[in-house]
Amino acid sequence: MPFLVALPFNVLEAIGRAGFYTTWHLLYFVACAFRAFTGFLFVAGIVMLLVSIGVFVNPNAAPMPWWFFLSSALGMFVFAVGYNLFLDWFAPPGAEDPFDRYRPSAKRRT
């Protein structure tokens, strides 16, 4: 009799747990798809760093102050590193990066 009383609650718990893990894996999959763009953020940060040096030398070269370009470069670096660290922390137990095969072999996480 206790089994029959607990059955609806056990079914609801199983459905909730399955929904939670499904959502977690789906969000991880989508977030891993955007991990490739963080490599572009590193390149863009290097370009913005060079632009900030150029604007610092010649302030008339851009309509914005040099510190704007410098803070943009630092922001891009921080976002790229933070995104990769967050994604490693956010990974569900036992999940692998599905887009790891598209990275260069030297940067693969094994």
pLDDT tens digits for range 2-30: 888 889 999 999 999 999 999 999 999 99
Asked if residues 80 and 41 have their Cβ atoms less than 8 Å apart, the reply is yes
Give, as one character, the DSSP assignment of residue 64.
S
What's the pTM value of the predicted model, to 2 decimals? 0.74
Residues 23-29: contacts with CB under 8 Å, at least 24 apart: 24/92, 25/92, 25/95, 27/90, 28/87, 28/90, 28/91, 28/92, 28/95, 29/98
